[in-house]
Amino acid sequence: MRIEAVDFFYLAMPQVEDKGDGSQDALLVRVQAGGYTGWGECEASPLVCIANWCCPLSHSACKPVRDSVLGETCDSPADIERITQTVRANGLDIAQTDHTLSGIEIALWDLLGKRYEVPVYELLGVKHAYPKRPYASVLFGDTLAQTFDAAQNITRRGFRAAKFGWGPYGRGSVAADRDQIAAARDGLGPDTVLLIDAGTVWVDDVDAARLRLPALKEFGVTWLEEPFVGGALDAHKALAADALPVRLAGGEGAHNAYMAKHLIDHGGIGFIQIDTGRIGGIGTAKAVVDYATARGVTYVNHTFTTHLALSASLQPYVGIRAAEICEYPADPSLLAENLTLEKLTISSDGLVRVPEAPGLGVMPYLETLRQYLVDVHIEVGGKTLYQTPDITAS
């Protein structure tokens, strides 16, 4: 099949607020080849990725992603790998390239799965898809009461694991941070797994992070996520030793497999969290799954938004039974909630399964797209390089 068309759809809530909720907008990618249509998502700034798709050539290692994708043949996983390598070599000097690639690569897997009528994980060579235990992923409340209520709500909905992050955590006093964790634990009760996400708030300040360890231990927190930015390997390593039995988690910012491997090899993390919508897609994520598993580090998806993104994030590691936990968007925006009609629902056994359907097994819902679509128009040197296409023209 020849890749005939790639289209980007920028979707956004009418009001996007300055908070840690990444589900307020989305960049949906549609790929068409051989009469099939595949869908993917970039977990990234929509406008920057669209510019990266269509930007003029700067030099041989600074090309628009478009030049490495349109017209290419795609009949097999090996073709997706080849396209991935070409995009990366031709986009070496554009830092955004991996983010832009991600949604396209995911859509190519979806498209191949539809053509061969198998779920994506089968194309990855996985024989059996194990269910995952979902953890509800939510933001800390601005007040302790809000955090407590959110925790109780999670428990009522049947979740057996929950993650609290961002909001005020790490920005005030050590005592205030302890109170937030106490409120979350109170609301969840003693038996629910509690995870904490610091959202890189200490950048690379080990001392600031170390002050928070006693509270994490006191309330039985399983992991501390992103105490630092991903590049701060030494800081991770130093904190990891003192944090036990709490493990460090990180990796959502990785935009290639190397960055994830560095955290595993030199950062001392216990959980590697990958967003297929950032790391370059499903194939790159699968490489990290294999690398982490061989080294005793537990792979976890990073998914805070839609069920299309959730399916794409689960496919690479559904074959790893021991990696049993998965992030599950528990409080997404209306846009993210309604992006697909199909959902990866939580079964009566409390577990989540990837769809046993071709490709990703979930499709964008056209009505949602129409409602939230944001028009983009880019002109360079008087020539139109991008104009959002008609959503119905497929």
- Between residue 334 and residue 373, which ones bind a copy of itself under the rule CB under 8 A? none
Contact call for residue 378 and a copy of itself (CB under 8 A): yes
Binding piece for a copy of itself, criterion CB under 8 A, among 1-9, 171-179, 324-332, 374-382: 374-382
Q: Is 62 in the site for a copy of itself (CB under 8 A)?
A: yes
Q: By CB under 8 A, which span of 18-26, 140-148, 151-159, 323-331 interacts with a copy of itself?
A: 18-26
- Residues 138-177 binding a copy of itself (CB under 8 A) are 166
Phi, psi of 243 (to 5 degrees): -80, -25
Site size toward a copy of itself, by CB under 8 A: 69
Residue 128 found at the interface with a copy of itself (CB under 8 A): no
Site string for a copy of itself, 183-202 (x = CB under 8 A): ----------------xx--
The angle subtended at Cα 383 by Cα 379 and Cα 384, nearest 5°, is: 55
Q: Is 61 in the site for a copy of itself (CB under 8 A)?
A: yes
Q: Does 320 bind a copy of itself (CB under 8 A)?
A: no
Angle (CA) 56-60-65 rounded to 5° is: 50
CA separation for the pair 394, 392 (Å, rounded) = 6
Do you know the residue count of the chain? 394
Task: Choose which of 78, 128, 381, 392 interacts with a copy of itself (CB under 8 A).
Answer: 381
Q: Which range binds a copy of itself by CB under 8 A, 76-84, 141-149, 249-257, 317-325?
A: 249-257
Structure tokens at 203: 């950048």
169-189 burial code (b ≥16 CB/10 A, e <16) = bbeeeeeebbbbbbbbbebbe
Distances (CA, A) of 84 to 101, 108, 130, 131, 135: 7, 11, 27, 29, 31
Report the residue number, 86 or 152, with the smaller CB distance to a copy of itself: 86
Residue 364 preceded by cis peptide, ω within 30: no
Residue 144 carries which side chain, given as an amino acid letter?
A: L
Concatenating the DSSP letter of every residue in 191-231 gives: TSEEEEE-TTTTTT-HHHHHTTHHHHHHTTEEEEE-SS-TT
**Residues in 212-241 at the binding interface with a copy of itself, rule: CB under 8 A:** 229, 231-234
- Please report, as ranges, the residues that interact with a copy of itself according to CB under 8 A: 10, 12, 16, 18-22, 24-25, 43-48, 50-52, 54-63, 85, 88-89, 92-99, 166, 199-200, 203, 229, 231-234, 253, 255-259, 262, 265-266, 278, 374-382, 385
